[in-house]
């Protein structure tokens, strides 16, 4: 993950921002989390390490990480903003969301990616990004019912 650290440093330099204890902490916690944390969950994690960090700083820093191309927002439709690592080295992936336990599985599927490009071409769209969410019940939860 050296690349993202560099991106962080470069962005801070470019925009004449400052490295602060809080920003570094939030950056670290975010990168070491599973990448689907809501702002609230991130804030909880951060507070458990340094309780003096304010919630507004978490919001502000996550916005900043998005601008820097380190994070991006994802919305699963439950009203919460979640963040995912924007690792351009990693393939684009989609999500399977268990509507019972809330678990999120990521997967990469070339056929889908390919077809999305074809569709964009067909409808004369210049594709910038895409999201696909499959909602269902995972094997574990089906057993419990």
Are the C-beta atoms of 94 and 100 separated by less than 8 Å? Answer: no
Residue 134 interacts with which of DNA, a second copy, none, CB < 5 to 8 Å by class: a second copy
94 appears as a binding residue in the annotation:
yes
Are the C-beta atoms of 40 and 59 separated by less than 8 Å? Answer: no
Among 5, 33, 81, 116, binds DNA (CB under 7 A): 81
Q: Site map for a second copy, 20-59, x if CB under 8 A?
A: ----------------------------------------
Write phi, then psi, for 80 (nearest 5 degrees).
-100, 145
Closest CA to 113 of 126, 131, 97: 131
80 binds a second copy (CB under 8 A): no
């Amino acid at each position: 993950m050296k690349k993202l650290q560099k991106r962080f440093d470069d962005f801070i330099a470019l925009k004449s921002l400052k490295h602060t204890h809080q920003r570094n902490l939030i950056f670290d916690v975010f990168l070491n989390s599973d990448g689907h944390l809501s702002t609230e969950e991130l804030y909880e994690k951060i507070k458990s390490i340094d309780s003096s960090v304010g919630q507004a700083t978490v919001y502000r820093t996550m916005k900043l990480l998005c601008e820097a191309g380190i994070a991006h927002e994802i919305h699963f439709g439950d009203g919460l903003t979640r963040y995912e690592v924007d690792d351009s080295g990693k393939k684009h992936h989609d999500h399977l969301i268990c509507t019972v336990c809330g678990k999120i599985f990521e997967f990469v599927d070339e056929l889908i990616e390919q077809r999305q490009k074809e569709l964009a071409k067909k409808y004369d769209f210049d594709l910038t990004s895409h999201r696909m969410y499959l909602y269902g019940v995972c094997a574990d939860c089906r057993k419990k019912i």
